[in-house]
Amino acid sequence: MQPTLQSESPVAPIITKVQVSTRRSTGRPRILSHLALTAICLIIGFPMIFAVIKSTQSVGQIFSYPPVFIPGTHAFQNYADAWTTGNLARLMANTLIVAVAISLGKTALSLMAGMAFVYFRFPLRGVLFILVLITLMMPTDILIVALFRVVSDLHWSNTLPALIVPFLASATGTFLFRQHFMNMPAELADAAQIDGASPFGFLVRILIPLSWNVIGALGMIEFVFVWNQYLWPLLVINDNDKQLVQVALKGIAVSAADLGNWGVALAAAIIASIPPLVVFIVLQESFLRGFALTREK
């Protein structure tokens, strides 16, 4: 179960060799990659592109058969309708606050836990890790009634802590950081021991800088997780002003679809998906950061 040390890995000599050799120019045309990516994006993106087009159409254009694929004339009305039916600006602000709080908290706790599981040997280490991992097997939505009882007993009903605190512990984050830390060269920890670095210093000055891409990825999924929260805020929050955005948006989309206002329903769906997209675009930078050690060598 212990990972092989790098010096024993059959892969290591190949890596060194490749890094030293001069890079050939690729020669192969990039156009094939462009084409492949475009085709894939079109297939994968088709439902979304379709939804965007339909969200700009009037009801008549939406229901016309054969279907109309060009953008319609009702973009402004549909989006305005979707936006004003709920108190969306306020709810988006609420959700943003919760998302940032959970992202920060979750990342911090997961970093610490990942570090504990990888850079220390202590009794019960395996058991505790499995205990963390199994929390993935009973998601909140199943536990919702029991969880509500706990939260009610704490008198957190209809409050911000109820939306934030239960989600600060993350098996996903811990698991991810554990994999990532184990994937880093063992020399790192040895060097830390030799230097007599403090654990905090090690975490802040070495681990974190080498983990920005993982932190970025985790931040992205944490944001989406909070952004798409529906059942829990619906249950726990009793104030229209404190509610999270998906609760309103699903209501708008479902009731608009039922009335045949598919344009408004799809506009609501598109509005709902914009902020996570923005977060992704912003966080993309960190994905581009490589594992700095290879370059430093």
Partner 1 sequence: MFRNRLFIFTMFVVLTIAASPAAVPAHAALEITFWHAMGGTNGKAVASLVDAFNASHPDIHVTQQLKGASYNEELNNVIAAMQQKQGPNVAQIFDLGSAFAKDSGFFTPVQTLLSADQLKQIQGDVVPPVLSYFTVNGTLNSLPWNNSNPLLYYNKEMFTAAGLDPAKGPTTWQDLEADCAKIIASSAAPNCLSLQIYGWPFEQWMALQGQEFANNGNGRAGLATQTNLTSDAAKNILTFWKDMAVKKYWISTGKIEDGTGAKQIFASKQAAMLIDSTGSLGGLTQNASDAGFTLGEGFMPANADVQRVGVIVGGASLWAGAGHSDDENKATVTFMMWLLAPEQMALWHQGTGYLPITKSAQKLLTDQGWFTKNPGQKVAVDQLNAGQATTATAGGFMGPFPQIRTLVDQAIQAVTSGADVNATLTDTKAKADQALADYNSRLTSGAAGTAAATMSATMSGTMSTTMAPTAAK
Partner 2 sequence: MQQSAFRQRWLPYLLLLPMFAILILFIYYPILSTFRLSTYKAAPNGLDLTYVGLDNYTRLLNPKLSTNANGQLQIQGDYILVFLRSVLFSALIVGGGLSISLGVAVLANQKLRGIRIYRTLLIWPYAISPAIIGVIFLFMFNPVGVVNYVWNGIFHTRPNWLGDPLLTPLLVVIASIWKNLGYNVIFFLAGLQNVGTEVVEAAAIDGANRWLRFWRIVFPLLSPFTFFLFVTNLTYSFFDIFGTVDVLGGPGNDSTNILIYNLYQDLQTNHATGLAAAQSVLLFGIVAAITILQFRTSERRVYYGA
| Positions in the binding site for partner 1 (CB under 8 A) | 58-60, 63-65, 85, 90, 93-94, 96-97, 100-101, 104, 144-145, 148-149, 152, 157, 204, 208-209, 234-235, 238-241, 247-248, 250-252, 254-262
Q: Which of 96, 97, 250, 255 binds partner 2 (CB under 8 A)?
A: 250
Cβ at position 137, least distance to partner 1 in Å: 23
252 binds, among partner 1, partner 2, none (CB under 5 to 8 A by kind): partner 1
- Of residues 118-177, those binding partner 2 (CB under 8 A): 118-122, 125, 128, 130-139, 141-143, 145-147, 149-150, 165-166, 168-170, 172, 174-176
71 binds, among partner 2, partner 1, none (CB under 5 to 8 A by kind): none
* 205 is an interface residue for partner 2 by CB under 8 A: no
Q: Which two tokens stand for residue 156?
A: 């957190």
CB nearer to partner 2: give 83 or 291.
291
CB 90 → partner 2: shortest distance, Å? 19
Q: Nearest distance from residue 19's CB to partner 2, in Å?
A: 6
Q: Using CB distances below 5 to 8 A depending on partner kind, what does residue 137 bind out of partner 1, partner 2, none?
A: partner 2
Q: In whole angstroms, what is the distance from residue 246 CA to residue 40 CA?
A: 29
| Residue 282 makes contact with partner 2 by CB under 8 A | no
Residue 73: contacted member of partner 2, partner 1, none (CB under 5 to 8 Å, by partner type)? none
- HEC-encoded secondary structure of the chain: CCCCCHHHCCHHHHHHHHHHCCCCCCCCCCHHHHHHHHHHHHHHHHHHHHHHHHHCCCHHHHHCCCCCCCCCCCHHHHHHHHHHHCCHHHHHHHHHHHHHHHHHHHHHHHHHHHHHHHHCCCCCHHHHHHHHHHHHHCCCCCCHHHHHHHHHHCCCCCCHHHHHHHHCCCHHHHHHHHHHHHCCCHHHHHHHHHHCCCHHHHHHHHHCHHHHHHHHHHHHHHHHHHHCCCHHHHHHCCCCCCCCHHHHHHHHHHHHHHHCCHHHHHHHHHHHHHHHHHHHHHHHHHHHCCCHHHHHC
Q: Which partner from the list partner 2, partner 1, none does 39 bind, CB cut-off 5 to 8 Å by kind? A: none
Question: Which of positions 182-201 make contact with partner 2 (CB under 8 A)?
Answer: 182-186, 189-190, 192-193, 198-199
Per CB under 8 A, does 230 bind partner 2? yes
Place of tokens 């462009």: 34
